[in-house]
Every structure is written in structure tokens, then in C-alpha cells.
Amino acid sequence: MKTAKYLFEKDYMADPAVHVFNDRLYIYPSHDRESGIPENDNGDHFDMNDYHVFSTSDIENEPLTDHGVVLKVSDIPWAGRQLWDNDVAFKDGRYYMYFPLKDKNDIFRIGVAVSDKPEGPFVPQPDPMKGSYSIDPAVFKDADGHFYMYFGGLWGGQLQRYKDNKALECACLPEGDQDALPARVARLSETMLDFAEEPRAVYIVDEAGKPLKAGRNDIRFFEASWMHVYNGTYYFTYSTGDTHQICYATGDNPYGPFTYKGVILTEVVGWTTHHSIVQFKGKWYLFHHDCVPSNGKTWLRSLKVVELEYEADGRIKTIQGSAKK
């Protein structure tokens, strides 16, 4: 499978977080719905009020099983609006769903919901994670058994409203030759319900070891963190946001710094790009979304998958996105 294919054309799903549990592949996407609000950079035009879970035992030949709604805004005691992308981790017989949601003050926090099955349903905790902010939680289990959460997104994701994990009176979005805003990472506690430490910056540097600059919109971090390990190397992958590419940087530990290496997926048709990378039945796959099926209608997004390939030196072969030049 070298050409990306659509996975679920009955509805608009986006931001796929994908994991293998019990030899079955599970997809945890966000759910796009039109809100009737005019389109803007904060994403207010998306009324994203629930999550579905999908699974399959054969991603290349078997249709996805839709397990239905597993969590919705009305289930969550502290909810305001907009369930954006989520991720799920497994520990000691329980599945933990991490989700960004605007609270009643329209501030994004990260919540946790728990299930005893990978397909849910998930029961939310009464409060968001203490000290959490912004969006795009992605949870990675390292070889030593520790779990790490990567998170953060600019613009509507509100990352520019924080510095050193404290809210700013006025948002600060770097420009030009200023250092780009980094994602955040924190090790999770043993309970999986909160941070075990203060979140740290995830620095992406060039080959000379200098942080990428904010003006490099084509390669700097914007949102959609993901982490995987290939041949002992840590691959931090992310979206460039307004330039609609998926890029990657490599390091030797979960905290980084990570050295920029290249583009995984070139520009897609749409308002955002967001992905996950997983190995399943001996192959590596890139899951992502674009807006081709909605034909530009408020940029409603659809799930896609394509096989991912590595060069002998560990570099990832670039995949052509749907916005072909």
C-alpha cells in the first residue's frame, strides 16, 4: 500500500490516534461537525461534541468496525465545548483516554476518561488534569515502562497563551528569527491520571544544534505531536499547521532535543493536518486526514492511511500529500 486510501467515508473524522491492542488495530479520531459559526482560525466552525472508536484486524483488506459513541461533551462535568483530538494508553488492564476540551471559561484543558476495554465506553474523571493546558495530547510508552504525554498547539490550540507552564496576560506568538514555540512533554504519574513532573519544552533543532525559528513555517512545530521508536531512535513527528505538512525530528531519549530531519507528508488539502504512526503486522503506517471528500465544505476532514517506508539510514521516505503541486 503506497497510495493513501480513505478509511471511513460515512462521516467526517479527523486527528487519528492509532494503537495496537490485543493484536487488533484501534483508531481514536475526533469527530467533525459543522456548528453554523463562520469559519475562523480558532476552529469555532467545528461542533466536535463526541468521540467514536474504530477497529480492524486487517487495515489493508477489512472495513473498519465502528464501535459508536464512547464519550461525549455532555458526559463531562467540567465541559464547555469542543472535544478536539484525543489519545489512548493501556496500563494494568485499563485504558486511559486523554482529551482536550474547552472548560466553561473557553480555556482548553486536558481530561482523562477510563475504560476496561479498548473500544470503550470511557468514563471521565470529574476534573481536568492539574496543570494541563492546550491541545493534542499524545501518550508514548517507553521501553522502561514510563508513559510520557506530548501536547500543545498554536492559534486555536492556545499554546501561545502560556510560558513556563503559566498563563500569560497577553498571548505571545513568536515571529521571524525568534525561536519557534515548542511542544510540551511530561512523564505521567503511576496512576496515569496526572503529571509526575512539570511539563518541559520539546526543542527541535537544526543540524548545528540551534532551535528552529518561528519564521520557518514549512518545518517548525505547530501542533499534532506524535512519538514512536524505530531501530532504537526516537522520532518526534508533528504538523507544521498553516503549511499543512507532517515533519519529523530524531533524538536519543523521550525529552529531546530532537534534530530536524525532513518531511514525512507533503501538503494536504484542508484546514489542518494531523497524524499518527504505528507498526502493525510487520508494516509501518501513517494515519492522517485531509478534506478532499468534503469538497471544501467548512474543511470537514476524513481519515486516510498509507504505508510508511524507511531508508536504510533511518530516514523516512517522503509521501506526497493530496495538495499536489
In this prediction, residue 298 carries a pLDDT of: 79
- The answer to whether position 282 is within a domain reads no
- Let me know if residue 278 belongs to a domain: no
Counting Cβ atoms within 10 Å, is residue 206 exposed (0-12), middle (13-18) or buried (19+)? middle
- Inside any domain, residue 8: no
Give a yes or no: residue 142 inside a domain.
yes
Total domains in the chain come to 1
319 lies in some domain: no
> Distance (Å, rounded) from C-alpha 72 to C-alpha 255?
32
Determine the Cα–Cα distance for residues 245 and 163; give it in Å rounded to an integer. 26
pLDDT of residue 38: 79
Q: State the Cα–Cα distance between residues 118 and 95, nearest whole angstrom.
A: 6
Read off φ and ψ for residue 241, nearest 5 degrees. Answer: 75, -105
* Residues lower than pLDDT 70 in the chain: 1, 296, 325
Q: What is the pLDDT of residues 10-37, one digit of tens each?
A: 999 999 999 999 999 999 999 998 777 7
Cα gap 198→165, rounded to integer Å: 8
Rounded Cα distance, 117 and 289, in Å: 26
252 is an active site residue: no
pLDDT at res. 84: 96
**Mind listing the pLDDT tens digit for each residue in 122-146?**
999 999 999 999 999 999 999 999 9
Q: Which of 32, 223, 267, 290 is catalytic?
A: 223
**58 CB burial (10 A radius; 0-12, 13-18, 19+):** exposed
Q: Which three cell numbers stand for residue 284?
A: 509501518
Q: Is residue 198 part of a domain?
A: yes
- Residue 269 located in a structural domain: no
Is 46 a domain residue? Answer: yes
**Cα 209 to Cα 246, 257, 258, 299, distances in angstroms:** 21, 9, 9, 37
Look up the domain containing 79 and give its range: 23-263
Exposed e or buried b per residue across 208-225, where buried means at least 16 C-beta atoms within 10 angstroms of its C-beta = eeebbbbebeebbbbbbb
Q: Does the annotation count 15 as an active-site position?
A: yes
Q: Tell me, what's the pLDDT at 325?
A: 58
3-state secondary structure at position 160: helix
- CATH classification of the domain holding 204: 2.115.10.20
pLDDT of residue 2: 75
